[in-house]
């Protein structure tokens, strides 16, 4: 006897057996594909980083100003506990353009107390402060211990990549990809300090503020090496929360591999 074909009518309560089986197969297949896609999507995502940017949430920070090699503010957290905050400017500029007005009020800002209102950036134990208005910088009566002269630690040869600290440390999430390499070059050209990101033997990132052999800031000369896996050799100095690496830019060796950041 010839089997009758099912004909589904939406306003009837009963559904044919073949239609039920087809719907079940479709639902279970779709759920399975959804779960597999969700797993693959999560598997190929970059791990979350421990960073934060207090965008549009300004904070007043008071501390002692330090200028060499790059502007910082030493803030007292508790007795014998300090945080050395790297100062940055708004947009793609360093902080110096915002410090010009306050520098007119005194012969030297080094070792003087400052109160700065800006937006804080946190990343892997480092703290940075973005300044967006010179009117938000005032002299204060801070009596805290300033950052002492850099103490030489060792001479090191390190592999890593050069980044700008603003985007990489949390303003851009994520601050990765080729477009951010161009952005980093603009930021460093505009006065941001170049930072070497190197991974130590424990798999942890370390950060080094790069200067020339005399400990002076470098900007334009470092641009061809930004975001390029490289080998750098230089003397490492202790700057409190930060480390400084004095290098000869001409001695940087590019490594023949793809960037892990850009």
Q: Give residue-wise pLDDT tens across range 58-113.
A: 899 999 999 889 999 999 888 888 899 999 999 889 999 899 889 888 888 888 89
Q: Is the pTM of this model over 0.85?
A: no
Burial (CB count within 10 angstroms: exposed 0-12, middle 13-18, buried 19+), residue 157: exposed
Structure tokens at 162: 């050069």
Residue 107 has, within 13 A of its CA and on its CB side, a CA count of 0
Q: Which CATH architecture has domain 51-140?
A: Beta Barrel (2.40)
In the prediction, which pLDDT does 27 show? 83
| Sites in the chain below the pLDDT cut of 50 | 1
- pLDDT at position 146 is 64
pLDDT computed for residue 176 by the predictor: 63
User: Cβ(123)–Cβ(206) under 8 Å?
Assistant: no
Q: What is the pLDDT of residue 17?
A: 73
Long-range contacts of 151-156 (CB under 8 A, 24+ apart): 151/237, 151/238, 152/235, 152/236, 152/237, 152/238, 153/236, 153/237, 153/238, 153/243, 154/235, 154/236, 155/233, 155/234, 155/235, 155/236, 156/233, 156/234, 156/236, 156/245
Cis omega (within 30 of 0) on the bond before 69?
yes
d(CA 86, CA 73): 7
pLDDT at 82: 86
Q: What is the pLDDT of residue 11?
A: 59
H or E segment at 52?
strand 51-53
> Which two structure tokens, joined as six digits, stand for 257?
């591999």
Say how far apart CA 205 and CA 200 lie, in whole Å. Answer: 6
**Residue 195 phi, psi dihedral angles, 5° rounding:** -125, 130
196 vs 225: CA distance, rounded Å = 10
């Amino acid at each position: 006897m010839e089997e009758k074909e099912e004909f589904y009518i939406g306003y009837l309560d009963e559904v044919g057996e073949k239609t039920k089986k087809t719907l079940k197969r479709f639902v279970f297949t779709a759920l399975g594909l959804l779960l597999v896609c969700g797993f693959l999507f999560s598997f190929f995502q970059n791990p979350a980083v421990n960073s934060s940017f207090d965008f549009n949430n300004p904070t007043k920070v008071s501390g002692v100003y330090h200028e060499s090699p790059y502007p910082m503010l030493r803030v007292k957290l508790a007795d014998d506990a300090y945080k050395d905050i790297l100062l940055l400017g708004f947009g793609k500029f360093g902080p110096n353009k915002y410090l010009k007005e306050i520098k007119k009020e005194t012969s030297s800002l080094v070792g003087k107390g400052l109160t700065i209102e800006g937006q804080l950036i946190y990343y892997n134990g480092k703290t940075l402060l973005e300044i967006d208005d010179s009117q938000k910088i005032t002299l204060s009566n801070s009596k805290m211990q300033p950052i002492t002269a850099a103490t030489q630690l060792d001479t090191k040869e390190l592999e890593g990549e050069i980044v700008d600290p603003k985007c990489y440390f949390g303003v851009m999430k994520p601050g990765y990809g080729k477009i951010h390499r161009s952005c980093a070059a603009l930021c460093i050209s505009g006065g941001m300090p170049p930072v070497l990101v190197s991974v130590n033997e424990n798999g942890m990132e370390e950060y080094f503020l790069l200067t020339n052999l005399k400990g002076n800031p470098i900007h334009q000369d470092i641009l061809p090496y930004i975001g390029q896996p490289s080998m750098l050799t230089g003397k490492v100095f202790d700057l409190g929360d930060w480390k400084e690496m004095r290098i000869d830019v001409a001695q940087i060796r590019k490594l023949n591999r793809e960037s892990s950041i850009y």
